[in-house]
């Protein structure tokens, strides 16, 4: 579909070339489609902007026409075949094209089952401990952070909010352990909104550091329901597929008591999509067997994992199991960690 | 005339002194050897032949002394005495010892300055032990990139649908026990009947495509899967807030309809929800006859 010839090899013929150009430009609209041009021609080599633009538009039109023709042909074939038509092609999405991660958990993997039976959460999953959560902030919490903490405390059962008042985390942690807390949540703020979350599983548990974004408090939600009640909610964890994802998933699961009270009809969802974890809190109602209505209560926010540390919070000497390294991990659009 | 007096006459008030900083209420002296920072006749290092200061380098304090005898040798003018003792009292004694027979003003001011310096050094050491706030710079590009990715991930996630699916699955698997009692058998029977009928209905529905395509609004630009159909239907239900009990839909049914009736993606959801809407008013046995009646109603 090249309509005008102007190849690189003939650049030394500059005066001749100009003449040629003018001749051809006058007849540009009347060119037959059959004229051939040297194959090394490309539209971007025409120096004149208007002509280049014209050529480009023409090129586009041609392409579009061919595409439409192809489409029509395919449709006709499809109709003709009727039942025997090949199944419709599934479009490519990022999730479809995801680079296969070798740490993806196979549901029947024994090694993983064994690991999970003996890791730091096993006490919780075996029903030995009840979660007790301490929510705190960085120094001098302001504005939305305070409200966010309070709302989180209503959403997570058995959660207590304490103000920091300048205490060092490393000193808080042994005190918490002494008082039987299982979780420590520290919310970091930047200009009066929360922007970071440190989730520390207390008796020697892993510490996860997240970046928090798009926080919507209860007031800001549209079509909101009433305040969350005291019943323990159910937990939904979606799309945590790799080993790392599994660990994080268990981290979230252990926040809530083991036996949800279905009477309360509340559900907390942690949905992982492309390494962003979306948290939502809903109240559901089953209208009948096949339909459920959900109504959003509670705050919503998204988390992105920044680092996972083996022991309790220790930024200098801790053993980091996983750290977000932007250049390696964010380079490929189809590669995800969780 | 004393040449120092001359110097002060010039730089003090009348002409320019490069170390002087003038503010509304006071004049300050920026000279590094000045003992008080104020621009005074008695605390100007240029206009006093006998002068002493305490200066601090990297946590150590030194006593600098200037004497008249050395006024002609600027390179050797300031004599530096090292404060060997970290002990506050001993250091004060050392100052006294060095500045013996010096005017009272200078001795006093030196000691004052030394006191202040030690105090701020102590405070610095204490602060280092406390928690230090670390400022992490945000890269604007990275932030905006992540924000965009997050939005796209949110759209791709289709959270409401995912949650509903999960809840329905849990209901099916029986994790809720006996709290909800829906008649399962009747439902299954109705399912099978509708399966049989859906194929015959598919052809009739195709004709209606053109009428209703324009009326639907589509939420997502990406492919509209069958889960989105349930979304539309839910929105309808929520808005109308009417309890229609005989709402027997099944996901398999919708799939079949889609495959048969779908020409382009845009038309199928209209198709699906249309069909469902018709079904709302229709009982199972009389499907074919009353199709036309409900069509009239909806269009």
Cα A208 from Cα A81, distance rounded (Å): 55
Would you state the pLDDT for residue A66?
A: 96
SS3 A35: coil
Residue whose pair of structure tokens reads 């209901």 in the numeric block: B171
Taking CB atoms and an 8 Å limit, are A262 and B179 in contact across chains? yes
Of A226 and A309, more confident:
A309
C-alpha B55/C-alpha A177 separation (Å) is 49
Residues in contact with B56: Cβ distance below 8 Å, sequence separation at least 6, in sequence order:
B62, B117, B121
- A278 has a pLDDT exceeding 80: yes
Q: Is B178 on the interface with A (CB under 8 A)?
A: no
Say yes or no for a CB contact (<8 Å) between B157 and A284: no
Closest CA to A254 of A188, A315, A198, A205: A205
Residue position matching structure tokens 């004599």: B79
Chain A contact for B186, CB < 8 A? no
pLDDT of residue A215: 92
pLDDT, average across residues B206-227: 46
For residue A292, give the nearest of B153, B167, B187 by CB distance: B167
The shortest CB-CB distance from A278 to any of B157, B182, B230 is to B157
Q: Count the alpha carbons within 13 Å of B206 in the hemisphere toward its beta carbon.
A: 13
Phi, psi of B175 (to 5 degrees): -70, -20
A278 — phi, psi (to 5°)? -95, 130
Query: What band does B256 get if pLDDT is binned at 50, 70 and 90?
Result: very low
pLDDT of B261 reads 38
**CA distance, residue A71 to nearest chain B CA (Å):** 11
Asked if A330 and A99 count as a contact pair (C-beta separation under 8 A), the reply is no
Confidence of residue B215 (pLDDT cuts 50, 70, 90): low
Q: CA A259 from chain center: how many Å?
A: 29
Does residue B169 belong to the interface with chain A, where contact is any CB pair within 8 Å?
no
* Residues 6+ positions from A126 with CB-CB distance below 8 Å: none
pLDDT value, residue A54: 93
Rounded average pLDDT over A206-231: 85
Contact list in B for residue A302 (CB cut-off 8 A) is 150, 154
- C-alpha A276/C-alpha A287 separation (Å) is 31
Beta bridge partners of A201: A183
The DSSP secondary structure of B220-268, one letter per residue, reads: -SS---HHHHHHHHHHHHHHH----S-----HHHHHHHHHHH-SSTTHH
- Determine the residue among B148, B163, B172, B182 to mutate to test chain A binding: the one whose Cβ has the most chain A Cβ atoms within 10 Å: B163
Find where tokens 């649908």 sit: B161
- Predicted confidence at residue A272, as pLDDT, reads 92
Checking if the pLDDT of A142 tops 80, the result is yes
Global model pTM greater than 0.90: no
pLDDT(B255) > 70? no
- Supply B171's token pair: 């209901």
Ranking A71-80, B270-279, B288-297 by mean pLDDT, the lowest is B270-279
The maximal CA–CA distance of chain A, rounded, in angstroms, is 91
pLDDT band at B207 (very low <50, low <70, confident <90, very high): very low
Residue A261 structure tokens:
């009270």
């Amino acid at each position: 579909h090249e309509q005008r010839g102007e190849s690189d090899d003939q650049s030394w013929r500059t005066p001749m070339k100009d003449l040629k150009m003018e001749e051809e430009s006058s007849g540009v609209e009347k060119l037959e489609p059959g004229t051939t041009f040297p194959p090394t021609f490309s539209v971007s080599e025409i120096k004149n902007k208007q002509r280049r633009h014209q050529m480009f538009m023409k090129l586009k039109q041609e392409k579009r026409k061919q595409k439409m023709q192809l489409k029509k042909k395919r449709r006709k074939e499809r109709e003709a075949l009727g039942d025997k038509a090949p199944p419709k092609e599934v479009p490519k999405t990022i999730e479809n094209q995801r680079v296969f991660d070798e740490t993806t958990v196979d549901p029947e993997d024994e090694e993983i089952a064994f690991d999970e039976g003996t890791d730091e959460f096993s006490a919780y999953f075996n029903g030995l401990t009840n979660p007790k959560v301490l929510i705190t902030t960085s120094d001098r919490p302001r504005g939305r952070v305070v409200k966010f903490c309070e709302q989180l405390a209503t959403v997570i059962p058995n959660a207590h909010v304490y103000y920091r008042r300048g205490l060092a985390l490393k000193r808080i942690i042994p005190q918490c352990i002494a008082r039987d807390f299982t979780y420590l949540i520290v919310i970091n703020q930047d200009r009066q909104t929360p922007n970071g979350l440190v989730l520390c599983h207390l008796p020697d548990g892993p510490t996860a550091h997240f970046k928090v974004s798009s926080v919507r408090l209860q007031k800001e939600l549209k079509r909101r329901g009433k305040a969350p009640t005291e019943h323990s909610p159910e937990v939904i964890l979606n799309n945590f597929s790799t080993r790392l994802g599994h660990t994080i998933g268990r981290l979230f699961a252990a926040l809530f008591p083991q036996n949800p009270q279905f009477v309360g009809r509340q559900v907390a969802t942690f949905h992982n999509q492309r390494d962003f974890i979306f948290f939502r809190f809903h109240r559901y109602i089953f209208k009948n067997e096949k339909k459920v209505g959900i109504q959003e209560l509670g705050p919503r926010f998204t988390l992105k994992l920044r680092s996972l540390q083996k022991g309790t919070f220790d930024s200098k000497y801790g053993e980091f199991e996983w750290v977000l390294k932007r250049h390696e991990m964010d380079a490929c659009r189809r590669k995800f960690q969780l | 005339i004393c040449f120092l007096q001359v110097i002060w006459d010039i730089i003090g008030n009348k002409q320019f002194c490069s170390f002087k900083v003038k503010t509304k209420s006071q004049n300050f002296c920026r000279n590094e050897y000045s003992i008080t920072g104020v621009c005074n006749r008695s605390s100007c290092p240029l206009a006093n032949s006998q002068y002493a200061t305490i200066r601090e380098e990297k946590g150590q304090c030194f006593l600098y002394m200037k004497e008249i005898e050395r006024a002609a040798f600027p390179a050797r003018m300031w004599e530096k005495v090292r404060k060997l003792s970290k002990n506050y009292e001993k250091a004060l004694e050392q100052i006294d010892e060095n500045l013996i027979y010096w005017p009272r003003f200078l001795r006093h001011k030196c000691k004052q300055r030394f006191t202040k310096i030690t105090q701020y050094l102590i405070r610095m050491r204490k602060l280092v032990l406390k928690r230090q706030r670390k400022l992490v710079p945000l890269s604007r590009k990275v932030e905006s990139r992540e924000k965009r990715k997050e939005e796209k991930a949110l759209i791709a996630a289709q959270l409401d649908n995912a949650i509903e699916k999960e809840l329905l699955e849990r209901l099916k698997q029986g994790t809720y026990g006996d709290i909800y009692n829906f008649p399962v058998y009747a439902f299954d029977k109705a399912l099978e009947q509708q399966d049989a009928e859906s194929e015959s209905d598919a052809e009739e529905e195709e004709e209606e495509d053109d009428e209703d395509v324009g009326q639907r609004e589509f939420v997502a630009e990406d492919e509209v899967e069958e889960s989105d159909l349930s979304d539309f239907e839910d929105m309808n239900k929520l808005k109308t807030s009417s309890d229609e009990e005989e709402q027997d839909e099944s996901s398999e049914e919708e799939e079949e309809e889609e495959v048969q009736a779908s020409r382009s993606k845009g038309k199928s959801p209209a198709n699906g929800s249309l069909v469902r809407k018709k079904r709302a008013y229709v009982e199972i046995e009389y499907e074919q006859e009353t199709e036309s009646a409900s069509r009239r109603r909806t269009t």
